[in-house]
A = this chain, B = another copy of it.
Amino acid sequence: MQVYEAPLRDMKFVLNELHADDGFGGLEALEEFTPDLTEAILEEAAKVAQDVLLPLNRSGDIEGCTLENGVVRTPSGFKEAYDLFREGGWCALASDPEWGGQGLPEAVNKLTEEMICSSNLSFSLYPGLTHGATTAIEGYACDALKQAYLPKMVSGEWSGTMCLTEPHCGTDLGMLRTKAVPQDPDDAFGGSYRLSGAKIFISAGEHDLTENIVHLVLARLPDAPPGVKGISLFLVPKYLPKDDGTPGPANGVSVAAIEHKMGLKASATCQLNFDESIGWLVGKPHKGMEAMFTMMNTERVSVGIQGLGVGEAAYQSAVWYAKDRLQGRSLSGVKNPAGPADPIIVHPDVRRMLMTMRAYNEGSRAIGAWVARALDAERHASDPEVKARAEDFIALMTPVVKALFTDLGFESANLAVQVYGGHGYIAESGVEQFARDARIAMIYEGTNGIQALDLVGRKMPAHMGRYLRSFFHPVSQFVEANKGDADFGKMIEGLEKAFGALQLSTGTIAQKGMKDPEEAAAAATDYLRLIGLVAMGYTFAKAALIARKALAEGSGEKGFYEAKIVTARFFFDRILPQATTAFLAIKSGKASMMAMDVDAF
């Protein structure tokens, strides 16, 4: 059964307690968002997730989206839910107040995103893509375009998309063929263009939730240089707005098909054809990749949160079943003498699975909150040093959040299926849907392999390793300050060892990669896992110390803090050892990976 209650206590922990000393807090611009206010927002968001979105998750999966005569319909209830969501102001939550947004800190917003993804991943894409699109428009479009489109998009009246992929190119966008031909150089938006081409895998490319859809489309101008240096970004509405701002004539955008996917069935993934569609430049000619990457980077953190969201729902659904399902007796003595058997949560191997999921989720949430605080500091910090450090940290952690969280989210979903046994393989259980839904997050917005290459190829070497220092520095300070701790000394020692392996690996990759970039690429995926594990270890060790302090001070929330320490111990016992595997794999280099003749495969 799909069960979900927003983990509000842990959310408040990562928001207000865990990162208080990270130097990213105390932002004047966000002073109005007091803990009281943000907690009230989180509680309201939880209600929307639990009461409005969760009930549509299974039915949306079963019904899916349909395409008939060029019209795409979302599953029953989605339109009503979207209207409620929009009217409640949830679309505008994190957007700039200048365009009608509520300017919520990202540290809070990312937690509401997690809830929405937990309760209904397919639904989350509709407002999620819109938010991504507004980011690019805010950053790169001319003022007239912003005025014409942002208010409607921020409110959620209109939705947005990102149109990148074409049948023959995804990762390698340099090959894209969609063309943009200048049309009216003197129009109100600085000149219009006619776009023609075919795009695939367009999430929310067409649907019945909003009266208009605003596509951000990568295309080539006639004078474009080849490759990625000749790509421009255009805004192309489904319907051209009339003078009064309401949707006018259709703009030559049509749906060729909706994809039949492994999961995420309530999200309409479309093949779109642009046929002389009118569009306007967002940013400069041939500089589309820059604008697209602004959008993409925001989205990458959000996709990481998707992984966490599904992982949390999977965890809770598995816990529910493990407490409910009676099977076998505890090895340490009967626990449910009144029943025919004990609940399966008594069995160590079931515990192993539940604790693994729990550790993945709490660890991801802790890292996510840290990065979200940096996003706020990047935008609002008055101290340039803080701003710069936030930028470095975000640059470094974006690929980690995207790839690590989505890998672990999928693993959690699969563990949930396993906890359910045979029942987990049956659609009615709801948990196999988590696995099918979560699978896409490892792929889109740049596959997790691409994230790893971004980490070792761009982020690691940038500015002589400066990005890395934004992470290494606090970890090394923490280890130094807490070595030999009376209760958690072994934990800190484990962290120190893993951190040492990370530093060694960094050196190895930097050195080998300088001579042979394939060496860095061969180490990329393991390196990303290694840095992710160290980040989790750091946040868990910190959390344990904070929990101990709260308990010593006689906190009324004994259960929460004790559980936090248990989960931290489990992480160090059972998850962190993965770091050794990653370290050894990195050390082995590219030789055996690249030795096989292509023909021998």
Contact = CB atoms under 8 A, between A and B. Distances in A.
A34 interface: no
Q: What is the oligomeric copy number? A: 2
B332 A516 contact: yes
B172 A349 contact: no
Given A349-B525, A597-B559, A442 B418 contact: yes
Contacts of A592: 355, 566, 569-570, 572-574
A352 interface: yes
A589 B447 CA distance: 36
A315 to B, nearest CB: 9
Interface in A557-587: 559, 562-563, 566-567, 569-570, 572-574, 577-578, 580-581, 584-585
A260 B428 contact: yes
A573 B594 contact: no
Contacts of A569: 591-592, 595
A376 to B, nearest CB: 31
Contact of A601 (B345, B439, B594): B345
A365 to B, nearest CB: 16
Contacts of A323: 598, 601
A144 interface: no
Given A259-B426, A349-B452, A524-B349, A588 B600 contact: no
A463 to B, nearest CB: 22
Given A201-B422, A521-B349, A354 B601 contact: yes
Contacts of A345: 598, 601
A578 B449 CA distance: 20
B595 A448 contact: no
Contacts of A585: 573-574, 577
Interface stretch (A134-142, A163-171, A281-289, A470-478): A163-171
Contacts of A343: 598
A598 B319 CA distance: 9
A311 B516 CA distance: 32
Contact of A355 (B444, B589, B593): B593
Nearest to A344: B171
A452 B341 CA distance: 21
A171 B328 contact: yes
A567 B592 CA distance: 7
Interface in A171-198: 171-172, 175
A439 B567 CA distance: 28
A48 interface: no
Given A261-B427, A421-B443, A443-B418, A351 B453 contact: no
A332 B442 contact: no
B348 A518 contact: yes
A418 B593 contact: no
Given A170-B327, A580-B581, A594 B517 contact: no
A565 to B, nearest CB: 9
Contacts of A328: 171-172
A436 B593 contact: no
A171 B165 CA distance: 46
Interface in A25-51: none
Contacts of A524: 348-349
Contacts of A249: none
A424 B452 contact: no
Contacts of A331: 517-518, 521
Contacts of A417: 262, 439, 443
A350 interface: yes
A425 interface: yes
Given A170-B327, A261-B432, 11 more contacts: A171-B421, A201-B422, A261-B425, A262-B427, A348-B593, A349-B522, A355-B593, A425-B439, A566-B596, A572-B592, A574-B588
11 contacts: A169-B327, A171-B328, A351-B596, A418-B442, A422-B444, A567-B596, A569-B595, A573-B592, A577-B580, A580-B584, A581-B581
